[in-house]
Amino acid sequence: MVLSNQEEDNYASLKMMNEKPYVIIVDESGLIQNYTWAVMRYDHLESSENHGMIQIPNPTIGTILIPTNMMSLEVCRAALYVCRETKMETLRALDEYVSQRMIHTMDAFFRNEDEWHTKSSFNCRKESANEMKALGDICLKADLVGECYSQASFNTAVLRLCGFSPEEVFTVGISGLEQGGHGVNIVKVEDRWYIFDSTYAPYVRKNMRDTLIFEVYIRPPFTDCITIIENDKYLINFGIPFSEYISPTLEHPFSNIDSVLLTEIVNNIMPIFNCSSLGENGWNLDSFIENATPNPWMKTIAVPYTIENAEGTSIEEKAQSLVSLNKDFIFNQIGGEIPNQYDMSLYGLGLLSVDFPQVYANAARLSAWTSRFGIKLDTSTPLFDTFITSLWIRLTIRDKQIVPSDCVAYSDLLYLCHKGSSIEKAVLAYGTLRNMKKNEELWSSDDLNILVTDDNEGYLAVYINDKWRYLSFEKGNMISDNVPSDIIMVFNEVDYANIWEEGEI
């Protein structure tokens, strides 16, 4: 594994946190790295050729994805569609909704596995609800496309907005000690716990099953152990396989929930999970409670709003209202000394109005497909690097926004969907050039800046032959010497400013 100096420092600090989880040192470079993991699709257990290992964000992927999804119109619409008078009726309505509309990424497209997946991407993918919808837009088989963990995070968010309390619905990570992991939901209805596994949706559509709701769940080897239980308020980590590679902090047992409540939940769900062990080390529950500490990145405050708080006369108006309420709440939870799940969710959503937009450039630098195309397209001179990058993106990506207009899509999603806004293309071009060589060394962040104008257009400023050139992704010249007008944002993976003075950022 080859890490940059910055990543080595970050890894070392994470190891220190793992040994003393109550000691946290937060600096700006570490923040940018950790926020970057909230943006990424995870392609683990292999270093990128140029820029090192991708890690899991703190607190965890799911605790970030759930509030991220609560700020998505797709999730708020789903909650309004499925909510019924009773919780059991609501769960059955979600069963029907998901069965008709959702599919696992592996089953979604008529592509061979090598074409769809990078070689390291066998598990732990992250797709927000917006990303699942974007993938659904190019899929013939379903409207929402995502890995199991992403589906479970979607379902948790929907049920929470339907009025299920944070004590009644969780995303659960389960795994086989030899076979990788899986993500499902546990849901409490009238003092009884059920498992909800939306990855069975294709079987329901083919009438090989009649429901996604399980009273007993036997799926060896994935039920060997329960690794994690989480939602927007709680995080319980029993131990994730390979945690020393993907997130050193997850080697440590964490629990942000009352021990009496945890005991009640575990004692009720273990039998329906085929008496799984707790974590890869097989914790005794009393011993786990004694050794676990609260995860310091987890803020134990739940999103308070449900569809009952939404205003409007139509589903669309109510969904918009609920999105606004959730965004306002989440923005009010950020800004403490230690970033929490709500801070991270703003980056998981891809909002441009964050404190560190550098994160999106950094994510593009690390993106699996973006970096591979950068390496593949690399030319012999900086000018040709610039030309081929601009031409490639123009030929490959058509001009259409993937995610809401106040957000930036993760760069690899542009390749999957073959579309993106000019801002997203500028970020993609940044990541592509950062994986090319400018003469003998890789292009530096000092030579690249993403520019955003007040009418929401994106450009990439590139320093070539002692002069700044500007890549445009709209019609007209691809490369220009003329500075775009009305620039309001300038950023690369290190720096951010709201003015542009020919490279002085």
252-301 confidence digits (pLDDT tens): 899 999 999 999 999 999 999 887 889 878 899 999 999 999 999 999 99
Across 32-61, average pLDDT? 77
- DSSP assignment of 263-284 equals HHHHHHHTGGGTS-EETTTT--
Highest mean pLDDT out of 62-71, 106-115, 175-184: 62-71
State the pLDDT at residue 113.
Answer: 46
347-373 core/surface letters (b: 16 or more CB in 10 A; e: else): bbbbbeebebbbbbbbbbbbbbbbbbb
pLDDT, position 35: 94
Domains contained in the chain, number: 2
Residue 154 in domain: yes
- Judged against a pLDDT cut of 90, whether residue 105 lies above it is answered with no
What the block records as the tokens of 100 is 């008709």
Rounded to whole angstroms, the Cα distance separating 505 from 341 reads 30
Contact criterion met (CB below 8 Å) for 58 and 249: yes
Of 237, 257, 291, the position where a domain reaches its end is 291
Of the residues 236, 269, 291, the one at which a domain ends: 291
Rounded-to-integer distance, Cα 215 and Cα 395, Å = 51
Place of tokens 């659904």: 136
Same domain, residue pair 243 and 129? yes
Phi, psi of 375 (to 5 degrees): -65, -45
Residue 6 belongs to some domain of the structure: no
> What is the band of 13 on the pLDDT scale with cuts at 50, 70, 90?
very low
Query: Which pLDDT score is estimated for 19?
Result: 40
Domain boundary residue among 245, 273, 291? 291
Does 5 reside within a domain?
no
pLDDT band at 40 (very low <50, low <70, confident <90, very high): confident
**Span 212-228, pLDDT tens digits:** 999 999 776 667 789 99
Instruction: Answer whether 26's CB lies under 8 Å from 338's CB.
Output: yes
Give the contacts of 313 (CB within 8 A, at least 6 positions apart). Answer: none
Do 244 and 363 fall into the same domain?
A: no
Instruction: Report which of residues 178 and 470 the model is more confident about.
Output: 470
Residues 79 and 215 in one domain: yes
CATH of the domain at 424: 3.10.620.30
| Mean pLDDT value of segment 398-408 | 95
The residue that leads in pLDDT, 370 or 312, is 312
At residue 15 the predicted structure's pLDDT band, cuts being 50, 70 and 90, is very low
Q: What is the pLDDT of residue 7?
A: 36
pLDDT at res. 361:
98
Confidence (pLDDT) at 502: 73
What pLDDT score does 56 carry? 80
The structure tokens 């950094």 sit at 362
pLDDT of residue 88: 98
Mean pLDDT confidence for 51-66: 86
Using DSSP's 3-state secondary structure scheme, residue 173 falls into strand
For 273, the token pair is 């999970």
* Residue 430 maps to a domain: yes
pLDDT value for 434 = 97
Question: For residue 39, is it within any domain?
Answer: no
Residues 6 or more apart in contact with residue 482 via CB below 8 angstroms = 470
12: pLDDT strictly greater than 60: no
Average pLDDT, the chain: 87
Within a domain: 85 = yes
**In a shared domain, residues 255 and 122:** yes
Taking residues 415-427, report their average pLDDT: 96
Angle at Cα 456 formed by Cα 453 and Cα 460, nearest 5°?
A: 55
- Please indicate, yes or no, if residue 350 is contained in any of the structural domains: no
**CATH number, position 154:** 3.10.620
78: containing domain: 61-291
CB 57 within 8 A of CB 34: yes
Question: 285 and 399 share a domain?
Answer: no
Distances (CA, A) of 52 to 97, 124, 125, 494: 40, 18, 18, 17
- Mean pLDDT computed over 147-173: 97
Residues 130 and 272 both lie in one domain = yes
d(CA 81, CA 211): 18
Domain check: are 268 and 371 in the same one?
no
Do 278 and 378 lie in one domain? The reply is: no
16 lies in some domain: no
More confident residue, 27 or 148: 148
Whether residues 252 and 368 fall in one domain:
no
User: Is 83 a residue whose pLDDT tops 70?
Assistant: yes
**Burial label, 11 (beta-carbon count in 10 A; 0-12, 13-18, 19+):** middle
Candidate ranges 13-22, 129-138, 212-221, 476-485; pick with highest mean pLDDT: 129-138
Cα dihedral 240→22→304→84 (10° resolution): 20
Instruction: State whether 264 and 156 are in the same domain.
Output: yes
